């Protein structure tokens, strides 16, 4: 990176501040109104990681080349960036909040909820010009894995604290100071019933050009541990253990619990990031406003989420991130026997951890 841009909001001026401190994370796309392909930010060279990546085992899953990095299957196109990110490319700071998840576990929802919660002083959730009413949640919260994959991870260095960022990487693939907690970076992890996750993934890939993909193929990859970012049990277990060891550093959420009690989750998020709701905010309905702003219906109805696409190596339509948003949809697609088999594999893998999926 030779040319890291100054942060200038799309509206002009510097990021908003509150009480002398930054008021919350800045919507990423507002801060960096550039396309990944644009030449205004130089890409860092990634060739230095070619030898490391080519030594990783490779396979093709759902038509996509994957690499096994420290036991986890990552997209080949993301592998060099993953190594760069882990080996000093990403500089975590105290006050950072990282949203981590396996894909299709509630990432988009959690990014929206956390962003709306942390940025609520600068951007009141009921305001008509809230960033989430004009931007996709993934445009508000930078996706580190993709930024590093295109050599532009260092743009997050220019973001003011507190930063809110997202990753699908396993904990052990993050920089050592995130893994051991010494950076002061907090992590919010969300996990979901893996049967619903795989059905959601199947629909998502079919809606984005893989109409031929069978559910069985996706199912098999989950059971074998070869799906994107898998084995899923190791991914989940690493964050689960870290959360048990230090719950003030790693918050472990379940998609199903968020569905049951979104307001309770928003309060928990606020406490976790050190911004609990005041009595005045509670009285003014700030929690309910955040829940409403981030509801599936509300997000789905925004123009930014009905149109357009994102992704660098492949394009994923924004609308495909918003489907049913329920628990138990797997039953419409899988036999009870298929469900029981995957549950059995997970029970065995998670045995002794105290975690039941
Ligand atoms: P990602 O990891 O690729 O970003 P992610 O957001 O985790 O995807 O997964 C999308 C799922 O979250 C979809 O689930 P489904 O296929 O079972 O329906 C999507 O509907 C759901 N989802 C997205 N936004 C919300 C929301 N606001 N509330 C509840 N569920 C949501």
Q: What is the pLDDT of residue 23?
A: 67
Cα 296 to its chain centre, rounded Å, is 17
Question: Are 67 and 76 a contacting pair, CB within 8 Å?
Answer: yes
* Distance of alpha carbon 233 from alpha carbon 224, whole angstroms: 11
Atom of ligand 1 nearest to the CA of 168: 2
Give the pLDDT confidence score for residue 37 in this predicted structure.
45
What does the DSSP 8-state code read for residue 67? E
Half-sphere exposure of 141 (CA within 13 A, CB side): 26
Residue with the smallest CA separation from ligand 1 atom 12 is: 106
Closest CA to 159 of 31, 280, 48: 31
**Which residues face 18 on adjacent strands?**
21
Q: Which atom of ligand 1 is nearest to the CA of 296?
A: 27
**φ/ψ bin of 99: left (φ > 0), alpha (ψ from -120 to 50), beta (otherwise):** beta
Instruction: Please tell me if the CB atom of residue 201 comes closer than 6 angstroms to any atom of ligand 1.
Output: no
Tell the burial category of 317 from Cβ atoms under 10 Å away from its Cβ (0-12, 13-18, 19+): middle
Ligand 1 centroid, distance to 3 Cα (angstroms): 35
- The CB of 321 under 6 Å from ligand 1? The reply is yes
pLDDT tens track, the chain, 357 positions = 334 444 444 444 444 444 444 568 989 988 876 544 445 566 788 999 999 999 999 999 878 899 999 999 999 999 999 999 999 999 999 999 999 999 999 999 999 999 999 999 999 999 999 999 999 999 999 999 999 999 988 888 888 899 999 999 999 999 999 999 999 999 999 999 999 999 999 999 999 989 999 999 999 999 999 999 999 999 999 999 999 999 999 999 999 999 999 999 999 999 999 999 999 999 999 999 999 999 999 999 999 999 999 888 888 999 999 999 999 999 999 999 999 999 999 999 999 999 998
Q: Give residue 326 CA to ligand 1 midpoint distance, Å.
A: 9
Identify the bridge partners of residue 250 per DSSP, sorted by sequence position: 187
pLDDT of residue 40: 55
Question: Best mutation site among 114, 167, 296, 327 for ligand 1, i.e. most ligand atoms within 8 A of its Cβ?
Answer: 296
The pTM for the full model equals: 0.94
Closest CA to 9 of 144, 112, 159: 159
Query: Using CA positions, which residue lies closest to atom 23 of ligand 1?
Result: 322
Q: Is 302 in the pocket of ligand 1 (CB under 6 A)?
A: no
Long-range contacts formed by 208-212: CB under 8 A, 24+ apart = 208/314, 208/315, 208/316, 208/317, 208/320, 209/314, 210/62, 210/63
The residue extents of the domains of the chain are 28-350
In terms of Cα–Cα distance, which of 141, 135, 131 is closest to 97? Answer: 141
Residues 6+ positions from 195 with CB-CB distance below 8 Å: 330, 334, 339, 342, 343
Spatial CB neighbours of 21, under 8 Å, sequence gap ≥ 6: none
CATH no., domain 28-350? 3.40.50.300
């Amino acid at each position: 990176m030779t040319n890291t841009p100054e942060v200038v909001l799309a509206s002009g001026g510097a990021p908003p501040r509150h009480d002398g401190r930054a008021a919350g994370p800045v919507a990423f796309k507002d801060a960096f109104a550039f396309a990944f392909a644009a030449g205004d930010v130089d890409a860092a060279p990634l060739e230095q990681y070619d030898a490391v990546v080519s030594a990783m085992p490779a396979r093709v899953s759902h038509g996509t080349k994957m690499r096994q990095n420290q036991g986890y299957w990552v997209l080949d196109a993301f592998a060099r960036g993953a190594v760069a990110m882990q080996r000093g490319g990403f500089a975590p700071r105290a006050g950072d909040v990282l949203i981590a998840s396996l894909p299709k576990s509630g990432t988009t929802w959690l990014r929206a909820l956390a962003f709306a919660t942390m940025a609520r002083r600068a951007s009141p959730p009921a305001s008509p010009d809230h960033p989430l009413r004009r931007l996709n949640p993934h445009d508000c919260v930078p996706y580190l894995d993709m930024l590093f994959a295109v050599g532009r991870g260092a743009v997050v260095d220019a973001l003011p604290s507190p930063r809110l960022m997202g990753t699908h990487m396993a904990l052990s693939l993050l920089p050592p100071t995130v893994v051991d907690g010494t950076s002061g970076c907090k992590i919010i992890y969300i996990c979901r019933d893996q049967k619903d996750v795989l059905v959601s993934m199947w629909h998502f890939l079919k809606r984005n050009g893989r109409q031929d993909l069978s559910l069985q193929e996706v199912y098999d990859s989950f059971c074998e541990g070869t799906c994107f970012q898998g084995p899923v049990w190791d991914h989940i277990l690493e964050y689960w253990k870290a959360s048990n060891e230090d719950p003030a550093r790693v918050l472990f959420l379940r998609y199903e619990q968020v569905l049951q009690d979104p307001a309770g989750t928003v309060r928990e998020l606020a406490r976790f990031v050190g911004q609990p709701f005041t009595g005045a905010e509670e009285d003014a309905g700030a929690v309910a406003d955040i829940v409403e702003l981030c509801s599936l219906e509300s997000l789905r109805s925004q123009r930014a989420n009905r149109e357009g696409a994102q992704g660098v190596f492949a394009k994923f339509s924004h609308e495909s991130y918003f489907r049913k948003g329920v628990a138990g949809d797997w039953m419409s697609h899988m036999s009870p026997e298929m469900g029981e088999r995957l549950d059995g594999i997970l029970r065995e893998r998670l045995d002794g951890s105290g975690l039941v999926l």
